[in-house]
Amino acid sequence: MTASADDLAALIHTIPDFPKPGIMFRDITTLLLDPAGLARAVEAIVDAVEGPVDLVAGIEARGFLFASPVALALGAGVLLVRKDGKLPGATIAEDYALEYGTDRIAIHADAFAPGARVLLIDDLIATGGTARAAARLLRKAGAQVTQAAFVIDLPELGGADALRAEGLHVTTLVAFDGH
């Protein structure tokens, strides 16, 4: 959490029961509409980065929005981690479990040389299933994934701690109770 976590939290609206009953949807569209808030969020992520980064990997779709400005500030490139079937070139993919069923994310197979230092970014970490699958996928392709950043953490769901237990340096800017 940063000093301005309360300010950022106030810019994130909660929509109950979206996209289905029981989900408290943490909506960053209101943060994106606020130039000062968006700048603070990007700066806070950039400030927390440890060591050199070659690529910032953004997870579809809201992760893309933070990956690009963070990459520009770091002098790094942007790597898209997309839902399977969206990337035009040859891909490698990774499956991960959802509450019901599985999902699959993919990257371009030739996106980077082995050893590339990758910072993983998404708007929110909940159970960590998505981010952990992205880290597995990037490592399978030869990346060094040592750090990850999220605007929002839902700590009760344990995703950020699970990533930390796997040895990643994890930055989160705002935490919300519940799921």
The footprint of ligand AMP (CB under 6 A) covers 23-26, 59, 62, 122-131, 159
Least distance from C-beta 64 to ligand AMP, angstroms? 11
166 is catalytic: no
Contact residues for 56 (Cβ-Cβ < 8 A; gap 6+): 67, 68, 70, 71, 74, 76, 77, 78, 79, 118, 119, 121
Q: Please say which residue, 97 or 113, places its beta carbon nearer to ligand AMP.
A: 97
117 is catalytic: no
Instruction: Count how many residues are written for the chain.
Output: 179
Q: Please say which residue, 26 or 40, places its beta carbon nearer to ligand AMP.
A: 26
Among residues 26, 40, 62, 132, which one is catalytic? 62
Q: Please say which residue, 115 or 169, places its beta carbon nearer to ligand AMP.
A: 169
Stretch (H or E) spanning 107 = strand 102-108
Least distance from C-beta 114 to ligand AMP, angstroms? 26
Catalytically active residues, by annotation: 62, 99
